[in-house]
A and B are shown apart, each in its own frame.
Chain A
Amino acid sequence: MTTIDIELLSVSKQFGANRIVDDISLAIPKGKFVSILGPSGCGKTTTLNMIAGFEAPSSGQIRIRGRDQEGVPPEARKIGLVFQNYALFPHMTVAQNVGFGLKMQGRPREEIADGVSRALKSVHLEGFEDRYPKELSGGQQQRVAVARAIAPSPSVLLLDEPLSNLDLKLREAMRVELKEIQEDLGMTFIYVTHDQEEAMAMSDRIIVMQGGVVAQEGAPADIYGSPRTSFVADFIGKSNILPASAEPGADRNLKVSLGAGKAVLTAARGDDVAPDNVRFCCIRPEAVRLAEAAGALDEPANRLTGTVQKVVNLGAYIEAWMLVDGGITLKSMIRSTRLEKLSAGCRVDLAIAHSAVQLLEQ
């Protein structure tokens, strides 16, 4: 049985007439890495601030470890928070920064020193105790911020876009490390980000927010594999999103009309979408395959022919835009070993598995 660490029950937040967070309910299981993902202005930071206690919900209830938090100030919530700009105390050494939480709790000196060295060890910053924040690189400051937040051993750690100030290489390395830290400590991490790659890389669960509501919630693979709306499909990973309509077809499949009916694809029937409600169709670029490579595909597929319009070499992959019969353009992601076969203007045979044609209601 999983216990729930943090629970939001119909939480809303209004600033004036603006509804920033609109009736969201979440249950965040203990010991999991959960990301709240969404574009800026989707309400994710406000949600985080409400969990931390810096803002009070306009309505609804927030529970931490089963307890209603109404009227509980941030300093009494016993949760950790890593800030986007780190917010390290500039007048304190690394050790003083990391030991701050324990010191505020009035712990004895030895216990503070102990906690500091343990926290610094888990972020691999031993030996930096006497440095000041200004003497550290961005990545090191980030580690200090994490160490400071975990030193008092909160059960929940909130992270507010903590990697967005780092360069790409460091960001990718820190992703792996943050995940390791989380697993080592068994702490609940709530990670707020607008970077879908980050969320995909680290999370056990992703909560996608849009316009103050939860657009979709689930394991990263589920959200990527079966986005529920065109927004989610577009926001998570790359995809071809096309206006579509559907009707029942043969073999319990659906017949999907694209591009004003000039192109027709077959989609494996999803349980959750009624044919009448289908508005969009989403096809991931990696599912648009060259027919010869898809020869071994052991599932039924749509066969199409098209003309290559544009090819972009991304190193391991190439991205190609194909104009297929019926006048629609599909983006395709293909292993670059096949680069020599592709150039603008050449004709290709394509295969798209029935199960890769996803139908969306909105």
Chain B
Amino acid sequence: MNRLLTYLFRTALAAILAFITLPLVVVVAASFSPTSAVTFLPSEWTLQWYAALWDSRWLDPFLLSVELAVIVSLASGLLGVLGAYSVAYAKCPGHTAIMALLLSPMSVPQIVKGVAVVLFLSSIGLYDLLGTPGLVMAHIILTLPYVVRMAATAMFGFDKRLDRAARILGASVTQRIRYVLLPLIRSGLFSGMTFAFIISFNNIPLSVFLVRPGQTTLPITVINHLEYSLDPVLAAVNVASLLFILGAIILFEKIGGFSAQFHGGSK
């Protein structure tokens, strides 16, 4: 019986993994296809679609998306850690309500959020903020809950006796945050910021309301392109984005070390 269950679970796991990875395999294969129709397992291989990416048509949106993702993850990281500190650590008055409010953007459909941001900006006469500034703001709203969530979880798990220990050793509140709290929640914070980065970089439903001609993010450019043609250049874009995101995750993990728990140092 147990053996049967084990096999069942393994099969299920394999199916899930296949479901996740196979479409990626198809995309990767298609990106090397010489014909302009997307085909799986092409008979010949070419890099022409990757070469085609080296064009301002794709590069500009890519750079805007990167810029956005960097600004958004940093800003969310900063705001998120401040929010989590007052809510989860210092337990300011009404902290449970504030926490719910901070997390609420998670449960609002992004389309609704997008419309709301546009209406809000135009109603207060700041319609000009559409484009990059609006994108930054909207993406921060979108990603902040993830960072708050991760940072708050890390702070809930923080042993307050460490704060007392630092205190009796003469550390001021800023010293305690800098030398004790932040290093210990760093992995939580960085994993939240990684989420923020990826979410911002990949976002479509919110960005679609806020981009302007000449200020378009990469995913929106892909969508626009898709309206006219489905060709392997899109596969190439996807593969390139995938590699970029992978690189970003590795970089975040190098800085933040969020996969490593404190299992004895060697760091």
Residues of chain A touching chain B, judged by Cβ–Cβ distance below 8 Å, are 52-54, 73-81, 83, 85, 87-91, 93, 100-101, 103-105, 131-132, 134-135, 148-149, 152
Tell whether A89 pairs with B162 under 8 Å between CB atoms, given A75-B168, A79-B168: yes
Tell yes or no: B120 within 8 A of A by CB. no
- Which 6 pairs, one residue from A and one from B, show the smallest C-beta to C-beta distance? A132-B265, A101-B169, A87-B165, A87-B161, A81-B168, A134-B264
The answer to whether A74 touches B167, judged by C-beta atoms less than 8 angstroms apart, is: yes
- Whole-angstrom distance between the alpha carbons of A132 and B262 in the complex? 9
CB distance from B174 to the nearest CB of A (A): 11
Tell yes or no: B172 within 8 A of A by CB. yes
The answer to whether A74 touches B164, judged by C-beta atoms less than 8 angstroms apart, is: yes
Task: Return the contact of A81 from the options B165, B172, B184, B265 (Cβ within 8 A).
Answer: B165
CB distance from B164 to the nearest CB of A (A): 6
Tell yes or no: B179 within 8 A of A by CB. yes
The answer to whether A134 touches B263, judged by C-beta atoms less than 8 angstroms apart, is: yes
Tell yes or no: B125 within 8 A of A by CB. no
Interface residues of chain A: helix, strand, loop or mixed (majority): loop
Instruction: Supply 19 A–B pairs (Cβ within 8 Å), ascending by A.
Output: A52-B168, A53-B168, A73-B167, A76-B170, A77-B168, A79-B168, A81-B164, A85-B161, A87-B161, A87-B162, A89-B162, A100-B179, A101-B169, A103-B179, A104-B171, A132-B265, A135-B264, A135-B265, A149-B168
Tell yes or no: B175 within 8 A of A by CB. yes
Most buried by A among B161, B169, B171, B184: B169
Residues in A neighbouring B265, C-beta threshold 8 A: 93, 131-132, 134-135
Interface residues of chain B: helix, strand, loop or mixed (majority): helix
Task: Return the contact of A75 from the options B161, B162, B171, B183 (Cβ within 8 A).
Answer: B171
Tell yes or no: B24 within 8 A of A by CB. no
- Whole-angstrom distance between the alpha carbons of A134 and B262 in the complex? 8
B169 (CB) vs chain A CBs: closest residue: A101
Tell whether A83 pairs with B161 under 8 Å between CB atoms, given A90-B262, A134-B265, A135-B264: yes
A53 (CB) vs chain B CBs: closest residue: B168
> 8 new A-B pairs (CB below 8 Å) besides A87-B162, A134-B265?
A74-B164, A75-B171, A89-B162, A90-B262, A91-B262, A101-B169, A132-B265, A152-B169
B183 (CB) vs chain A CBs: closest residue: A91
- Whole-angstrom distance between the alpha carbons of A79 and B180 in the complex? 19
Task: Return the contact of B172 from the options A52, A75, A90, A132 (Cβ within 8 A).
Answer: A75
Residues of chain B touching chain A, judged by Cβ–Cβ distance below 8 Å, are 159, 161-162, 164-172, 175, 179-180, 183-184, 262-265
The answer to whether A91 touches B184, judged by C-beta atoms less than 8 angstroms apart, is: yes
Residues in A neighbouring B161, C-beta threshold 8 A: 83, 85, 87
Residues in A neighbouring B167, C-beta threshold 8 A: 54, 73-75
CB distance from A81 to the nearest CB of B (A): 4
Residues in A neighbouring B171, C-beta threshold 8 A: 75, 100, 104
The answer to whether B184 touches A152, judged by C-beta atoms less than 8 angstroms apart, is: no
- Whole-angstrom distance between the alpha carbons of A330 and B23 in the complex? 85
Residues in B neighbouring A100, C-beta threshold 8 A: 166, 169, 171, 179
CB distance from A156 to the nearest CB of B (A): 11
Tell whether A132 pairs with B183 under 8 Å between CB atoms, given A81-B165, A83-B165, A87-B165: no
- Whole-angstrom distance between the alpha carbons of A132 and B162 in the complex? 15
Residues in B neighbouring A76, C-beta threshold 8 A: 170
- Whole-angstrom distance between the alpha carbons of A119 and B172 in the complex? 23
Residues in A neighbouring B164, C-beta threshold 8 A: 54, 74, 81, 83, 87
Tell whether A89 pairs with B180 under 8 Å between CB atoms, given A74-B164, A104-B175: yes
The answer to whether A78 touches B165, judged by C-beta atoms less than 8 angstroms apart, is: no
The answer to whether B165 touches A105, judged by C-beta atoms less than 8 angstroms apart, is: no
- Whole-angstrom distance between the alpha carbons of A149 and B168 in the complex? 9
Residues in A neighbouring B175, C-beta threshold 8 A: 104
Residues in B neighbouring A131, C-beta threshold 8 A: 265
- Whole-angstrom distance between the alpha carbons of A334 and B179 in the complex? 57
CB distance from A88 to the nearest CB of B (A): 8
CB distance from A38 to the nearest CB of B (A): 22
- Whole-angstrom distance between the alpha carbons of A73 and B168 in the complex? 9
The answer to whether A87 touches B170, judged by C-beta atoms less than 8 angstroms apart, is: no
- Whole-angstrom distance between the alpha carbons of A309 and B83 in the complex? 69
Most buried by B among A54, A80, A91, A103: A91
- Whole-angstrom distance between the alpha carbons of A18 and B220 in the complex? 64
B170 (CB) vs chain A CBs: closest residue: A104
- Whole-angstrom distance between the alpha carbons of A74 and B164 in the complex? 8
Residues in A neighbouring B162, C-beta threshold 8 A: 87, 89
CB distance from B189 to the nearest CB of A (A): 14
